[in-house]
Amino acid sequence: MLVLLPPSEGKANSGEGAPLEPGSLSLPGLAAAREAVLGELVELCSGDPEKAREVLGLSEGLRGEVAKNAGLRTAGARPAGEIYTGVLYDALGLATLDTAAGRRAADSLLVFSGLWGAVRVTDRIPSYRCSMGVKLPGLGALAGHWRAPMAEVLPEVAGRGLVLDLRSSAYATAWKPKGEVAGRTATVRVLHAPTRKVVSHFNKATKGRIVRALLTSGAAPENPAELVEALRELGYTVEAETPGKAGKAWALDVLVDRIH
């Protein structure tokens, strides 16, 4: 099973560890594309801070993120699972997984990123600020920058098993599973059962809880149909929309009563 996650906007501090070693990151086929974004981002943030803040879409209160980006090559690095914070990652609780579940997380979780493309939770990265919606002056829209290298690398990473796609729309544009891979991909919406509306905060929290439940239970669904059954066995109410034709992803709705 491969689980595709969005990053978090807010991130933990890098700390005082050893700096980034780009060659050590997973998915080495993305190395050239990563270096292109890293180089331009560091250059942008080492220059006019107001221009950098405008390009990155940062408020005045986030001015310090520009200086953080300027020092990415020398900043301390920590496992990505410790850098990403926020509602989904709080609910996932990587740090509190037992040993077996932690190994499954290292093998199956892939976090998408405007800067790195995609990383494993064990990859050591510095804290940064660069969303997939950013348009860098030299590279243009990052989602477009990532599409070609992702299309080369991700099908192999997906292997032959289930792909559980929990990304937000901005990150989903960087790679869309196609063909045979799409047929074993499932996307998930979390709906408030009484109103059948998506509630953003609880949507993220529930997705984090779903991933944690799958990891801790040892469930190993190999396709979307098996995922539906696994989630129901874990106590979730799931409605599944099977694809109308081959090469399309399954769409799952998880219905919840609580919205906080």
Residue-level pLDDT at 119: 98
Measured CA to CA, the distance from residue 171 to residue 106 in angstroms comes to 20
Question: Percent of the chain having pLDDT more than 90?
Answer: 88
pLDDT 10s digits, 219-260: 999 999 999 999 999 999 999 988 878 889 999 999 998 755
Total tally of structural domains belonging to the chain: 1
Q: In this structure, what DSSP letter does residue 20 have?
A: P
Q: Residue 5: which residues within 8 A CB-CB, separation 6 or more?
A: 88, 109, 110, 111, 112, 166, 167, 211
Indicate if the pLDDT at residue 45 is higher than 90.
yes
Range of the domain at 237: 2-256
pLDDT 10s digits, 173-217: 999 999 999 999 999 999 988 888 887 778 899 999 999 999 999
Q: What's the rounded mean pLDDT across residues 59-65?
A: 92
Question: Percent of the chain having pLDDT more than 70?
Answer: 99
Measured CA to CA, the distance from residue 130 to residue 128 in angstroms comes to 7
